[in-house]
Amino acid sequence: MMKFHSKPVPEHKEVPVADNRRWEKIIEQSVQRDTSSSQNNDINRCYILSVSYSRDPLVQQAQLLEIVSLVKAQGDTVVGEEVYYLTKERPQTLIGKGTSQEIAERAHALNADLLVLDAELSPSQMRNLEDASGIAICDREAIILNVFLRHAKTRSAQIQIEIAQLQYLRPRIRGIGLDMDQQTGGISGSRGAGETASELLARKLDGRLAELKKAQSKLERVDKNHREKRNKCKRITLVGYTNAGKTSLMNALVKENLSSRNMPFETLDTTSRCLTRHGGDVIISDTVGFIRRLPNSLLASFETTLAEMCSSSLIVVVIDVSDYEWQEHLQITISMLEKLKAEDIPRCYVFNKLDCVSVLPSCDLLSGLVEEYNYEILSSKDKSAVDKLKEKLLQMVRSEEQVIEFVVPYTANHIMSLIYGKTRVIESKALATEMYFRVEGSPQVMAKIEHDLKELI
Ligand SMILES: Nc1nc2c(ncn2[C@@H]2O[C@H](COP(=O)(O)OP(=O)(O)OP(=O)(O)O)[C@@H](O)[C@H]2O)c(=O)[nH]1
Ligand SMILES: [Mg+2]
């Protein structure tokens, strides 16, 4: 697990050697990791700086609560916190050198060993801030990566996250290609002629990355086979902002007891269960939650897992309506679905945690937000509301789907991938120059295939 260690306030502004070792240690741990066993149990004392672009105190409060819960979810202690309203970004340090020094003083007074900035920092901004303030700095992306790493249970998720972590760490190796005066070619047994310590570290990191990518593509092939088998069933996928209640709803729908806690990113691995009582033809899947400013590295690594939702018959978007920022969470989820190219799959919106709100969002507001789509407002704790939702979902998947036959030329690769990616193939036959398919899928996808076939003529 990526962890950070304190360092003394530097007396001068040169790059301290200890700082190099901090990253070196993190990367060495990662490079040598046996993903299944390694867990660093050091607990950092964190001082949190929630960098907000909003003037609204309630938004600021919600953002602060989110970063506090992320830091706690990675197992660290929060010793102090403050909100910083950012009006002007400084290219070198984001918040300004003087401000960072003042904040570091308050953090030091509370014996903090890590200053967590709820912002994305470039590697050089992070270095500049550490040099200016004399305290170890950590940004939002590092925290989210740590939480993911801590909660990943399957080998596949662990590999995906470790790849994202190494990609995050690589540009943070100090002095790659710069510290020529440190060149000590051939001193260390494994160091190549003229290679600096940081270049050696980068080489080890690249080696580990290549190893992980190989392992990942092997696992993807196995997963693909499982997916193809599961594809014969209709699938409903639960998506939404982290902590919205997806797993709780899944548990209530299938009467299970999957781990659900008041903690971000409790679920990282997609879990699928039969929605119909005695096996049957409808599967429901619970997925990793979304979050604002989800690091691109993580989104990319979960793309394969999440791509599975593109062959769903129905997507259920779960929203925690008791969260002050639920409308923003809804927008983030909608734009994630667009990014993942799942926008043409029918949706049902579930506004959850009704028991926690005193004022219901008006129907006008909801219809405005979710357009023509279906929605329900409920609490996942309300058994009869969940049973009613289950009937509705089953009815939706069963009525929406169409079965259609297509004959597709072998050369039409994009139509082939639409068929394999977004429909369930009931039957297929290889003909002389074409492929015959009998497929089941949503009217939207069927219309797209028909349209694309016509374009070929
Ligand atoms: N009061 C109330 N709490 C709920 C409801 N639904 C879920 N919760 C709580 O909300 C917290 C988060 O629920 P989860 O089901 O783990 O949320 P999730 O969307 O799966 O979260 P991640 O897996 O972390 O993305 C848990 O503490 C649940 O007990 C609800 O309808 N009412
Ligand atoms: Mg969950």
Ligand 1 first shell, C-beta below 6 A? 240, 242-248, 260-262, 264-267, 289, 352-353, 355-356, 379-381
What is the C-alpha separation between 445 and 423, in angstroms, rounded? Answer: 8
Instruction: Read off the pLDDT of each residue in 180-190 and give the average, rounded to a whole number.
Output: 42
Q: pLDDT tier at 46 (50, 70, 90 boundaries)?
A: very high
How many residues make up the chain in this entry?
457
pLDDT at 296 > cutoff 70: yes
Instruction: Read off the pLDDT of each residue in 256-267 and give the average, rounded to a whole number.
Output: 82
Pocket test for ligand 1, best of 69, 243, 263, 284 (most atoms within 8 A of CB): 243
What is the C-alpha separation between 307 and 209, in angstroms, rounded? Answer: 22
SS3 of residue 325 by DSSP: coil
Of 14-18, 225-229, 280-284, 372-376, where does the model show the most confidence?
A: 280-284
Q: Residue 428's beta-bridge partner residues?
A: 437
Estimate the crossing angle of helix 326-339 against helix 363-370, to 10 degrees: 20
Q: pLDDT tier at 191 (50, 70, 90 boundaries)?
A: low
Share of the chain above pLDDT 90, in %: 42
Pocket test for ligand 1, best of 66, 247, 248 (most atoms within 8 A of CB): 248
CA-closest candidate to residue 287, choices 300, 303, 263, 276? 303
Distance from the CA of 160 to the center of ligand 1, in angstroms?
A: 25
Q: What pLDDT score does 277 carry?
A: 65
Q: Residue 51's beta-bridge partner residues?
A: 84
Q: pLDDT tier at 401 (50, 70, 90 boundaries)?
A: confident
Q: Residue 272's beta-bridge partner residues?
A: 285
Q: pLDDT tier at 119 (50, 70, 90 boundaries)?
A: very high
Instruction: Read off the pLDDT of each residue in 219-232 and give the average, rounded to a whole number.
Output: 67
What is the C-alpha separation between 289 and 310, in angstroms, rounded? Answer: 16
Instruction: Read off the pLDDT of each residue in 52-79 and give the average, rounded to a whole number.
Output: 93
Residue with tokens 């979902």: 393
Q: Report the nearest atom of ligand 1 relative to the CA of 243.
A: 21
The protein residue whose alpha carbon is closest to atom 13 in ligand 1 is 245
Pocket test for ligand 1, best of 249, 256, 260, 329 (most atoms within 8 A of CB): 260
Q: What pLDDT score does 280 carry?
A: 59
Burial 336-348 (b: 16+ CB within 10 A, else e): bbeebebeebbbb
Q: What pLDDT score does 192 carry?
A: 60
Q: Which domains does the chain have, with CATH numbers?
A: 17-182 (3.40.50.11060), 231-400 (3.40.50.300), 402-456 (no CATH)
The protein residue whose alpha carbon is closest to atom 2 in ligand 1 is 353
Share of the chain above pLDDT 70, in %: 82
Residue with tokens 């938004």: 59
Q: pLDDT tier at 2 (50, 70, 90 boundaries)?
A: low
Of 147-161, 195-209, 330-344, 403-417, where does the model show the most confidence?
A: 403-417
pLDDT at 346 > cutoff 90: no
Q: What pLDDT score does 38 carry?
A: 43
The protein residue whose alpha carbon is closest to atom 30 in ligand 1 is 353
The whole-angstrom distance between residue 119's C-alpha and the CA centroid of its chain comes to 16
CA-closest candidate to residue 115, choices 228, 406, 301, 131? 131
Lowest mean pLDDT among 36-50, 219-233, 441-455: 219-233
The whole-angstrom distance between residue 225's C-alpha and the CA centroid of its chain comes to 24
Cα dist from 369 to 183, 249, 302, 327, 375, whole Å: 59, 22, 27, 8, 11
List, for residues 383-399, the tens digit of each pLDDT value: 999 999 999 998 888 77
